[in-house]
């Protein structure tokens, strides 16, 4: 997932590294599937890190005519590795990736309708399935899903005499109260380069805006300008978002929250195990709309892609169908770091009292809204957002100018992607 080392908890994916091992093995009647996945550093922690190899082995027990070769690639190098393999004509059969639209538009992927039967397709949470659609056809298969909520330090909130905010005015009031009792960063505004596009979009959605509409990118809209202007004038200018929100990234923000230096912030369920283990005084709530009420939640996930180069459509479909069965899906994505993307697995977790900390996150998923990953230009635009969006909210920042610049960058990226 994009981005997303914060979604995984442990390393140690089991399986053989298998460059170019798609195809039938020499002298063997077995079908050999090459699966490329990300490996993660142990500091970010998740159960899925151990599960790819287990799922592959379990699948092979009931499908002895198929060999799954799991190749681990350091997560930050995964997307480039996939692109290089595809360019060299050595595409894996199945790969975990942050992007899908470029390959879909180039005709290199099997559509979901050719991989899964109708009941399996219908089991995907609709909002997440729809995010994998390019030109009215779904190619991206969601995996390692998450959605953030507003985490807050209950001890600090009690000391400040405030409760979970239900509007932006209440959020600012709570931040002011936290500042008065000496909290260095009342609200952890994460507009640093690690995942600024996530934090920014959560705020834009809560202000009635977004990154792209039906006709393409729409950055410099009145609602988007108003949202970033509010952040600049009502949080950053008054020191309520720390000294440098344009440099605050997600990983250090989580660490500061656990040290009591941040009073509240948007965070994902990956943070839950550490909070529970240390008995940290926390709670979480829906992120508020500007005028009050719950904002549309942001949805995040990575993608499983099935490449058509090797002609293993049936084998790819059979393995992926097994991967998304309720029992398997609950096992591999039911940890604190990643949420299941199927309704059946979600219902199972939602009815399990032991998984109560995840319930509110699961409840948000059907309402989630997404970044425009269906556009082939998105990787380039995402980089521009990470570089520039924080400049809009610093003292003296120009929200209108920054957003207009992003529109220009997006236009260039669209032209580049179309070549």
pLDDT value of position 22: 37
pLDDT value of position 9: 33
pLDDT value of position 111: 98
| Mean pLDDT rounded to a whole number for the chain | 89
Q: Helices 399-418 and 222-231 sit at what angle, rounded to 10 degrees?
A: 130
Residues facing residue 142 across a β-bridge:
303
**Both structure tokens of 409:** 């960058």
**Both structure tokens of 50:** 């151990």
Count the alpha carbons within 13 Å of 348 in the hemisphere toward its beta carbon: 17
pLDDT value of position 418: 85
Phi, psi of 319 (to 5 degrees): -65, -45
DSSP secondary structure letter of residue 334: -
Query: Higher confidence at residue 63 or residue 13?
Result: 63
Give the neighbor-by-neighbor strand order of the sheet with 149-153.
185-187, 262-267, 149-153, 282-285
> Taking the CB of residue 342, how many other CB atoms lie within 10 A of it?
24
Q: How confident is the model at residue 333 (pLDDT cuts 50, 70, 90)?
A: low
Q: Is the pLDDT of residue 5 over 50?
A: no
Q: What is the mean pLDDT of residues 388-392?
A: 97
Q: Is the pLDDT of residue 269 over 50?
A: yes
Q: Are 347 and 284 in contact (CB under 8 A)?
A: no
Alpha carbon distances (Å) from 327 to 101, 235, 324, 344 = 29, 45, 8, 9
The residue whose two tokens read 């397709």 is: 121
pLDDT value of position 134: 95
Q: What is the mean pLDDT of residues 284-302?
A: 97
Q: What is the mean pLDDT of residues 238-263?
A: 95
CA 228, 233, 234, 238 torsion: positive or negative? positive
pLDDT value of position 20: 34
pLDDT value of position 332: 62
Helix (H), strand (E) at residue 167 = none
Q: Is the pLDDT of residue 419 over 90?
A: no
* Percent of the chain scoring above 70 in pLDDT: 89
> Taking the CB of residue 76, how many other CB atoms lie within 10 A of it?
12
Q: How confident is the model at residue 328 (pLDDT cuts 50, 70, 90)?
A: confident
Q: What is the mean pLDDT of residues 180-204?
A: 97
**Both structure tokens of 19:** 């460059």
pLDDT value of position 2: 37
Q: What is the mean pLDDT of residues 45-62?
A: 75
**CA torsion angle for 377, 378, 380, 382 (degrees, to 10)?**
160
Q: How confident is the model at residue 45 (pLDDT cuts 50, 70, 90)?
A: very low
pLDDT value of position 11: 30
Query: Higher confidence at residue 221 or residue 339?
Result: 221
Give the three-class secondary structure for 132. coil
pLDDT value of position 101: 96
Phi, psi of 96 (to 5 degrees): -90, 130
d(CA 367, CA 191): 24
Q: How confident is the model at residue 215 (pLDDT cuts 50, 70, 90)?
A: confident
pLDDT value of position 393: 97
**CA torsion angle for 323, 326, 327, 330 (degrees, to 10)?**
90
**Both structure tokens of 91:** 């595409």
**CA torsion angle for 213, 291, 127, 150 (degrees, to 10)?**
120
Query: Higher confidence at residue 11 or residue 187?
Result: 187
Q: Is the pLDDT of residue 14 over 90?
A: no
d(CA 104, CA 126): 20
Query: Higher confidence at residue 28 or residue 272?
Result: 272
d(CA 37, CA 269): 21
* Per-residue model confidence as pLDDT tens digits over 239-248: 999 989 999 9
* Per-residue model confidence as pLDDT tens digits over 78-117: 999 999 999 999 999 999 999 999 999 999 999 999 999 9
Q: Are 188 and 264 in contact (CB under 8 A)?
A: yes
- Residues 6 or more apart whose CB falls under 8 angstroms from that of 128 comprise 142, 145, 299, 301, 341, 365, 368
d(CA 92, CA 306): 8
DSSP secondary structure letter of residue 211: S
Q: How confident is the model at residue 335 (pLDDT cuts 50, 70, 90)?
A: low
Phi, psi of 357 (to 5 degrees): -55, -20
Alpha carbon distances (Å) from 355 to 6, 17, 121, 143, 173 = 20, 34, 25, 19, 33
Q: Give the Cα-Cα-Cα angle 33, 53, 325 (nearest 5 degrees).
A: 80
Q: What is the mean pLDDT of residues 159-176?
A: 98
């Amino acid at each position: 997932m994009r981005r997303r080392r914060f979604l995984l908890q442990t390393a140690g994916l089991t399986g053989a590294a298998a460059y170019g091992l798609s195809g039938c093995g020499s002298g063997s009647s077995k079908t050999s599937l090459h699966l490329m996945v990300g490996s993660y550093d142990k500091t970010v922690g998740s159960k899925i890190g151990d599960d790819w190899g287990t799922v592959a082995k379990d699948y092979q027990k009931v499908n002895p005519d198929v060999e799954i070769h799991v190749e681990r690639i350091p997560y930050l190098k995964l997307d480039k590795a996939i692109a290089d393999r595809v360019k060299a004509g050595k595409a894996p059969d199945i790969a975990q990736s942050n992007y899908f639209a470029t390959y879909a538009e180039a005709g290199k992927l099997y559509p979901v309708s050719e991989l899964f039967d109708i009941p399996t397709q219908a089991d995907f949470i609709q909002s997440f399935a729809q995010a994998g659609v390019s030109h009215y056809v779904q190619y991206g298969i969601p995996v390692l899903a998450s959605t953030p909520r507003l985490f807050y330090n209950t001890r600090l909130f009690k000391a400040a005499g405030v409760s979970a905010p239900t509007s932006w005015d209440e959020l600012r009031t709570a931040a002011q109260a936290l500042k008065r009792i000496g909290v260095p960063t009342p609200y952890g505004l994460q507009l640093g380069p690690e995942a600024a596009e996530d934090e920014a979009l959560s705020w834009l959605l809560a202000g009635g805006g977004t990154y792209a509409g039906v006709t393409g990118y729409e950055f410099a809209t009145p609602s988007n300008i108003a949202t970033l202007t509010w952040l600049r004038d009502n949080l950053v200018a008054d020191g309520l978002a720390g000294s440098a929100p344009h440099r605050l990234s997600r990983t250090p923000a989580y660490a500061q929250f656990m040290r009591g230096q941040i009073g509240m912030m948007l965070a994902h369920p990956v943070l839950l195990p550490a909070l529970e283990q240390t008995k940290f005084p926390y709670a979480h709530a829906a992120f508020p709309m500007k005028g009050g009420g719950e904002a549309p939640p942001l949805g995040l996930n990575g993608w499983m892609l099935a490449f058509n180069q090797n002609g293993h459509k049936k084998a790819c479909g059979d393995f992926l169908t097994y991967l998304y069965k309720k029992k398997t899906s609950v096992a591999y994505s039911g940890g604190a770091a990643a949420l299941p993307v199927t309704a059946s697995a979600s219902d199972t977790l939602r009815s399990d009292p032991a998984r109560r900390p995840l319930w509110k996150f699961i409840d948000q998923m059907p309402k989630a809204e997404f970044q425009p990953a269906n556009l082939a230009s998105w990787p380039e635009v995402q980089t521009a957002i990470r570089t520039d969006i924080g400049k809009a909210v610093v003292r003296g920042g120009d929200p209108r100018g920054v957003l207009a610049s992003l529109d220009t960058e997006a236009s260039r990226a669209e032209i580049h992607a179309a070549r």
